[in-house]
């Protein structure tokens, strides 16, 4: 388990419950020593006991005998975290990404970043409505294991399945990754909605239209539409937008109550993936010529200091549309063909 945050710690406990022997790798040696000594991850997963037989280490992992390499670090740190491992990483060792975000600048999904750094290694994505705080306490959780190699998806499914952690297999890696990433942006909007006290009507509409935006972008990038109405799409969106554990919703909640983004981030111990992902998602939408009004307004609030009340007003005042036509419209606007000048045929 490469990454000793709350999610990495919780998934290590899941694997331990299956009878496997995971090794939890922390980036800092002093943090690894703290985990070994105290047997609890106080900064990221307080109140959850780490058993004595769960090994905690730091530095470069020893890959000998490893069945899976589980990647559990924040999106924007994936590339630098993997770089020192590139030379020694076995090309046949499957990487299981449990990271939800899109890299700023390259606009790549995490599975693409993994292959940029490590080469053509097998990759599977594990995603869904799964707060570490609940998984660590063995509350029932269901996720999706997605890989273009269905045999690998089934292998990951079998590795993580317990009586408290159910895993479905999937093949739409793009859809599962995009659902997990973009829902964090919508969760910020949901938090703003709660912070402003806009009520249940507004929040339900926000989630419904947010799912349309997620699906619209996903289809433009080649994902299957049905994926976004499953566990890794709608399921993850609902959990993130309503749970008190949601860090992205928490950012939005604080903004809705009047705090500035810089202050919020300075007070946070963990990373809210949706903040930087907002930049990436909007850039992807512009590249694909896809309209994402909610994402655009979240971007204005986060990075242009727009009053969230004005953002809500601008969303509500948009031109009238048909919901049926909106759902059935193409994912992106058709590219206009340039008219070619007619050339008169020469007579022989």
**Spatial CA neighbour of 70 closest among 139, 5, 136:** 5
What's the pTM value of the predicted model, to 2 decimals?
0.91
Contact 224, 175 (CB under 8 A): yes
If you count them, how many residues does the chain have?
Answer: 348
CATH architecture of 6-172: 3-Layer(aba) Sandwich (3.40)
SS3 145: strand
Contact 8, 35 (CB under 8 A): no
- How many degrees, rounded to 5, is the angle at CA 271 between CA 51 and CA 239? 80
pLDDT reported for residue 331: 56
Who contacts 119 (Cβ-Cβ below 8 Å, separation ≥6)?
86, 89, 91
CATH class of residue range 174-319: mainly alpha
Who contacts 155 (Cβ-Cβ below 8 Å, separation ≥6)?
94, 124
Write the DSSP assignment of 147-190 as a string of letters: -SSHHHHHHHHHHH--SSEEEEEES-HHHHHHHHHHHHHHHHHH
pLDDT reported for residue 249: 96
pLDDT reported for residue 332: 54
268 vs 5: CA distance, rounded Å = 13
pLDDT reported for residue 342: 47
Contact 135, 10 (CB under 8 A): yes
List every span in the chain annotated with CATH 3.40.50.720.
Answer: 6-172
pLDDT reported for residue 325: 67
206 vs 200: CA distance, rounded Å = 10
Active site residues: 183
List every span in the chain annotated with CATH 1.10.1040.10.
Answer: 174-319
Return the structure tokens found at 197: 């006290």
Who contacts 335 (Cβ-Cβ below 8 Å, separation ≥6)?
289
pLDDT reported for residue 346: 44
pLDDT reported for residue 328: 63
Contact 126, 99 (CB under 8 A): no
**Spatial CA neighbour of 211 closest among 193, 186, 244, 184:** 186
337 vs 296: CA distance, rounded Å = 28
The region, left, alpha or beta by phi > 0 then psi within -120 to 50, assigned to residue 279 is alpha
pLDDT tens track, the chain, 348 positions: 999 999 999 999 999 999 999 999 999 999 999 999 999 999 999 999 999 999 999 988 999 999 999 999 999 999 999 999 999 999 999 999 999 999 999 999 999 999 999 999 999 999 999 999 999 999 999 999 999 999 999 999 999 999 999 999 999 999 999 999 999 999 999 999 999 999 999 999 999 999 999 999 999 999 999 999 999 999 999 999 999 989 999 999 999 999 999 999 999 888 889 999 999 999 999 999 999 999 999 999 999 999 999 999 999 999 998 887 666 655 554 454 454 544 444 444
């Amino acid at each position: 388990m490469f990454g000793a945050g709350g999610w990495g710690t919780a998934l290590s406990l899941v694997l331990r419950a299956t009878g496997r022997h995971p090794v939890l790798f922390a980036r800092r040696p002093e943090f690894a020593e703290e985990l070994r000594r105290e047997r609890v991850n106080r900064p990221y997963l307080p109140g959850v006991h780490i058993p004595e037989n769960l090994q905690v280490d730091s530095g470069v992992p020893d890959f000998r005998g490893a069945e899976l390499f589980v990647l559990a670090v924040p999106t924007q740190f994936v590339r630098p975290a993997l770089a020192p491992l590139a030379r020694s990483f076995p090309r046949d060792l499957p990487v299981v990404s449990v990271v939800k975000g899109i890299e700023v600048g390259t606009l790549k999904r995490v599975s693409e970043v993994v292959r940029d750094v490590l080469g053509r290694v097998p990759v599977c994505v594990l995603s869904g409505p799964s707060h570490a705080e609940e998984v660590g306490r063995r509350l029932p959780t269901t996720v999706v294991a997605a890989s273009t190699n269905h045999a690998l998806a089934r292998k990951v499914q079998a590795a993580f399945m317990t009586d408290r952690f159910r895993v479905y297999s999937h093949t739409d890696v793009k859809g599962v990754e995009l659902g997990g990433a973009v829902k964090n942006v919508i969760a910020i909007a949901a938090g703003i909605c709660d912070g402003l006290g806009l009520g249940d009507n507004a929040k339900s509409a926000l989630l419904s239209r947010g799912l349309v935006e997620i699906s619209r972008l996903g289809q433009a990038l080649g994902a299957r539409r049905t994926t976004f109405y499953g566990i890794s799409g709608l399921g993850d969106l609902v959990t993130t937008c309503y749970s008190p554990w949601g860090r992205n919703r928490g950012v939005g909640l604080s903004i809705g109550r009047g705090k500035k983004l810089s202050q919020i981030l300075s007070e946070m111990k963990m990373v809210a993936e949706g903040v930087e992902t907002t930049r990436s998602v909007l850039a992807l939408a512009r590249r694909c010529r896809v309209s994402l009004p909610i994402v655009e307004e979240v971007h204005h609030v986060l990075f242009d200091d727009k009053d969230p009340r004005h953002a809500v007003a601008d969303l509500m005042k948009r031109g009238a549309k048909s919901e049926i036509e909106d759902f059935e419209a193409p994912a992106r606007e058709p590219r206009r063909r340039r008219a070619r000048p007619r050339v008169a045929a020469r007579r022989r």
